[in-house]
């Protein structure tokens, strides 16, 4: 039970988020209307994605200090989980944009920055696949991962605030907290962030286990041959 309590918590939180996200009360605001329910999915997914990518960067730093390949395994799988959330965030954002602004992909700096950020992390995965030597791949990928996160954060969170953007908190627009993040939304939004983060960690754990099992099989095959 000590090892799985957080997985049980993840399931409970996400069931709560999905139910309340579809059926719970939300503020009725102009333009947004019922589409504000996407806050529990689109916004929470992006915050969870940032957490996973930050954790990936930390494990890359740990690998560069220790040369422990287990740290690189975790870093790469956290990046994959974060990238998966980024793609889901773009899809849910496109649906929201279509209902709110009448265009699934308007010319918005935050949307364009998100697309560039996803491409940066796709390049990270391609970089990893271009090296056969395990340690060399881990070293180069770790350095790239650190710089990728350093570029990703300004693209998503800083530059859009300095330009005109349709997103809240950017280009002079109000943030959620100042005009529509009421108590009803907070009761679901914060659990949603925790739930999506836990799910991402769960996916990462499974992927790391698979990677380590495959490595052991390769080592046993090499010894046998």
Summarised one tens digit per residue, pLDDT across range 117-174 is 999 999 999 999 998 888 999 999 999 999 999 999 998 888 877 776 666 645 444 4
Summarised one tens digit per residue, pLDDT across range 180-191 is 566 778 899 999
CA distance 74 to 80: 10
Assess if residue 17 is contained within a domain: no
| Alpha helices for the chain (secondary structure H) | 5-23, 42-66, 69-101, 109-129, 134-153, 159-162, 176-179, 183-224
pLDDT at res. 179: 45
Number of structural domains found in the chain: 1
Domain of 168 in residue numbering reads as 40-224
pLDDT at res. 60: 97
Q: What are the b/e assignments for 139-170, b being 16+ CB within 10 Å?
A: bebbebbbebbeebeebbeebbbeeebbbbbb
Assess if residue 25 is contained within a domain: no
Assess if residue 48 is contained within a domain: yes
Assess if residue 139 is contained within a domain: yes
Global pTM reads 0.88
Assess if residue 23 is contained within a domain: no
Summarised one tens digit per residue, pLDDT across range 5-59 is 999 999 999 999 999 988 888 777 666 677 788 889 999 999 999 999 999 999 9
Rg (CA), the chain: 20
Assess if residue 74 is contained within a domain: yes
Assess if residue 11 is contained within a domain: no
Assess if residue 32 is contained within a domain: no
Summarised one tens digit per residue, pLDDT across range 211-223 is 999 888 877 777 7
């Amino acid at each position: 039970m000590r090892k799985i309590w957080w997985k049980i918590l993840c399931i409970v939180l996400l069931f709560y988020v999905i139910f309340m996200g579809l059926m719970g009360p939300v503020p009725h605001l102009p333009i947004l209307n019922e589409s504000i329910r996407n806050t529990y999915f689109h916004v929470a997914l992006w915050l969870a994605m940032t957490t996973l990518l930050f954790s990936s960067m930390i494990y890359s730093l740990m690998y560069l200090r220790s040369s422990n390949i287990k740290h690189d395994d975790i870093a790469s799988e956290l990046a994959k989980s974060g990238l998966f959330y980024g793609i889901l965030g773009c899809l849910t954002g496109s649906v929201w944009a279509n209902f709110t602004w009448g265009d699934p992909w308007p010319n918005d700096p935050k949307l364009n920055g998100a697309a560039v950020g996803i491409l940066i992390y796709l390049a990270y995965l391609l970089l990893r696949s271009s090296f056969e030597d395990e340690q060399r791949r881990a070293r180069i990928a770790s350095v790239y991962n650190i710089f990728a996160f350093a570029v990703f954060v300004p693209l998503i969170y800083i530059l859009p605030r300095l330009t005109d953007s349709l997103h809240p908190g950017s280009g002079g627009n109000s943030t959620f907290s100042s005009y529509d993040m009421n108590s009803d939304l907070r009761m679901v939004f914060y659990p949603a962030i925790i739930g999506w983060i836990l799910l991402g960690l769960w996916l990462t754990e499974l992927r790391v286990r698979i990677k380590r099992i495959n490595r052991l099989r390769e080592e046993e095959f090499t010894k046998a041959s």
